[in-house]
């Protein structure tokens, strides 16, 4: 009985192993390569699959999702003989599991080496300044070359990104100094423009204020002149309405003479020629009042100089 039990156990184990090898469950977004006696037979897609045990074998399981692979910094020489280190990131996706398995031994290593050589060809035709400012151009050129080369490997390169472009330390210092000088220059230009604009605005404000002040003074002078003219007209009309005689006018003229001589700057006073006519008119007026003043006292007394002195009437 014991040999029979051992044989049954062995049969059960073989059946169990055969079932395991027969039923293959492939996850979603994955594929498996089946070989029969070492030769490619078919590709298993996602889901439950049946294979022939001990005859068919799974060679490789491939993830069909998009993959992200960062590559270490690579030294690249620019057109102006400067060494820069460039970090790259590749976004790729396996589109043909059979080609990815049989067309290239290791597609990751192949993509890395192809990226390095392509970068050296692209950067070698650019100077440092263009390299630092042409990321999109470099990405597009690199992606085009990689996508064309990896198509036969069953790989599609979706995106290529440059993580960093690091020039030498001495070049970085020079670039920082240049950028600092450019910023200082722009700041000085902006300050000068601000000062110039402020001066222009100040000048325009002063000009406008002077114009307004001149307009105000002109209006004030016009109003003063109009007021003086009105006053003169009023005085003139009042004089004509009062009908003054020559005696009153002579007296008023004599009252204005001291005002003409006022002031410290008047070193020389020229007597107007009209003063004789005024004195004649005034003396005539006093002569008419003379007998009325001295009639009560008789003849006046005679002084030491022999001239007669009469008491002049006070004229208010």
Model pLDDT for residues 166-198, shown as the tens digit of each residue: 887 777 777 778 778 888 888 889 999 999 999
Per the DSSP assignment, residues forming a β-bridge with 166 are 85
Q: What is the pLDDT of residue 14?
A: 82
Q: How far apart are the C-alpha atoms of 293 and 291, rounded to whole Å?
A: 5
Q: Evaluate if pTM is beyond 0.75.
A: no
Q: What is the pLDDT of residue 262?
A: 64
Q: What is the pLDDT of residue 155?
A: 92
Residues 197-217, mean pLDDT to the nearest whole number = 90
Q: Rg of the chain's alpha carbons, rounded to an integer?
A: 61
Say which residue, 250 or 238, is predicted with more confidence: 238
Among 39-48, 81-90, 160-169, 203-212, which stretch is predicted with the lowest mean pLDDT?
160-169
Q: What is the pLDDT of residue 180?
A: 82
The secondary element (H helix, E strand) that includes residue 48 is strand 47-50
Q: How far apart are the C-alpha atoms of 235 and 202, rounded to whole Å?
A: 48
Contact 100, 107 (CB under 8 A): yes
Per-residue pLDDT tens digits for 149-170: 888 899 998 888 888 888 877 7
**pLDDT of 68 strictly over 80:** yes
Per-residue pLDDT tens digits for 19-66: 887 888 889 989 999 998 889 999 999 888 888 888 888 888 999 999
Q: Which two tokens stand for residue 123?
A: 């950067």
Among 1-5, 115-119, 237-241, 278-282, which stretch is predicted with the lowest mean pLDDT?
278-282
**pLDDT of 2 strictly over 90:** no
Q: What is the pLDDT of residue 289?
A: 47
Among 60-74, 127-141, 168-182, which stretch is predicted with the lowest mean pLDDT?
168-182
Per-residue pLDDT tens digits for 245-294: 666 666 666 666 666 666 565 556 555 555 666 566 556 555 554 444 44
Q: Which two tokens stand for residue 246?
A: 């020559």
Q: Answer left, alpha or beta for residue 259, where phi above 0 means left and psi between -120 and 50 means alpha.
A: alpha
Q: How far apart are the C-alpha atoms of 162 and 84, rounded to whole Å?
A: 12
- Confidence at 309, pLDDT banded by 50, 70, 90: very low
């Amino acid at each position: 009985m014991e040999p029979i039990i051992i044989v049954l156990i062995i049969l059960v184990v073989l059946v169990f192993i055969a079932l395991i090898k027969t039923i293959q469950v492939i996850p979603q977004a994955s594929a498996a390569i089946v070989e029969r006696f070492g030769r490619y037979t078919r590709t298993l897609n996602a889901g439950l699959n049946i294979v022939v045990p001990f005859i068919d074998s799974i060679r490789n399981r491939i993830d069909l999702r998009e993959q992200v692979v960062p590559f270490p910094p690579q030294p690249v020489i620019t057109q102006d003989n400067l060494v820069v280190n460039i970090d790259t990131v590749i976004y790729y996706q396996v589109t043909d599991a059979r080609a990815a398995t049989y067309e290239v031994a290791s597609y990751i290593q192949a993509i890395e080496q192809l990226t390095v050589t392509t970068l050296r060809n692209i950067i070698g035709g650019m100077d440092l300044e263009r390299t630092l400012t042409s990321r999109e151009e470099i990405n597009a050129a690199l992606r085009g070359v990689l996508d064309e080369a990896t198509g036969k490997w069953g790989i599609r390169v979706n995106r290529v990104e440059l993580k960093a472009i690091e020039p030498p330390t001495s070049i970085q210092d020079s670039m920082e100094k240049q950028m600092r000088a450019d910023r200082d220059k722009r700041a000085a230009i902006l300050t000068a423009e601000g000062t110039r604009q402020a001066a222009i605005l100040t000048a325009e404000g002063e000009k406008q204020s002077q114009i307004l002040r001149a307009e105000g003074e002109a209006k004030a002078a016009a109003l003063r002149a109009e007021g003086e003219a009105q006053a003169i007209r009023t005085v003139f009309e009042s004089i004509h309405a009062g009908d003054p005689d020559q005696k009153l006018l002579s007296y008023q003229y004599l009252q204005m003479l001291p005002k003409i001589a006022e002031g410290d700057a008047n070193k020389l006073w020229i007597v107007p020629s009209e003063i004789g006519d005024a004195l004649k008119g005034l003396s005539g007026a006093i002569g008419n009042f003379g007998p009325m003043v001295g009639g009560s006292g008789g003849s006046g007394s005679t002084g030491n100089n022999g001239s007669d002195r009469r008491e002049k009437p006070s004229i208010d």
